[in-house]
Structures are given as structure tokens and as C-alpha cells.
Amino acid sequence: MKLITTIIKPFKLEEVREALADIGVQGMTITEVKGFGRQKGHSELYRGAEYNVNFLPKVKIDIAVNDEQVEEIVHVIQHAAFTGKMGDGKIFIFELQHAVRIRTGELNDSAL
């Protein structure tokens, strides 16, 4: 199993959610987050030492999936979240060791 963590522009959330539902993704968790990438991290020097970083609002989507689904999901997210402008976001993929479906006690692949 893998955990796919994606950071996108907030206005793209609905499009990404629909595209993922269309390919049968069964669950996801979203979080409103703030972050910066290559452009916005840059420091404004302030009184010599302090600096401001501009954190921009983003949405984080976490999806736990079977290994076979990863490629398609990444492709769909990449397409749905794309504007071609800076700040479109990133996709991070982690190994997922265990999953438990609390109501049934199912484990791992069958728990997703």
C-alpha cells in the first residue's frame, strides 16, 4: 500500500475530487494547509536577521491506496490539478505499512 499526499491550489479541489471519484477512489482526507515552494520562500530581510516567508493557502489531500492504483491516481491528479502556472503543487508518495478498518476489523488492502 501507498499513501499519496498531494498539495494543490484550493480552487482545484473540486475538480481533483471529481476526477478521483470517476476512477473509483473510495476515500480521501483533506486538510487546509499553508506552504511555499520555490518562489515564495524568499526572504525579505528585516532588521538584518528576521525574515518573512509568505505562506500561501493550499489544500492537502491524503489517499491510501493499493500499489496497483498508484500510477493511475497520480496521473489523474496531475491532470486535474494542472494550470501550468507556478504553485500548482506537488505529489509525494509514501510506503504505507498498515491499515485497519475500525468497524469491521479488516486489515491492509481490504481495509482501504
Q: Taking CB positions, which residue lies at the least distance from ligand ATP?
A: 35
Please say which residue, 12 or 58, places its beta carbon nearer to ligand ATP. 58
Does residue number 86 form part of the binding site for Mg ion (CB under 5 A)? yes
Question: CA triplet 80, 12, 29: central angle to 5 degrees?
Answer: 95
Please say which residue, 39 or 52, places its beta carbon nearer to ligand ATP. 39
Residues sharing a CB contact under 8 Å with residue 47, sequence separation 6 or more, in sequence order:
none
Provide the H-helix boundaries in the chain: 13-22, 70-80
Contact positions vs ligand ATP (CB under 6 A): 7, 35-39, 56, 58, 86-90
Q: Least distance in Å: CB of 7 to Mg ion?
A: 10
Please say which residue, 40 or 75, places its beta carbon nearer to ligand ATP. 40
Does residue number 39 form part of the binding site for Mg ion (CB under 5 A)? yes
Handedness of CA 70, 71, 75, 76 (dihedral sign): negative
| CB-CB contact of 97 with 14 (8 Å) | no
What residues line the site for Mg ion (CB under 5 A)? 37-39, 86-87
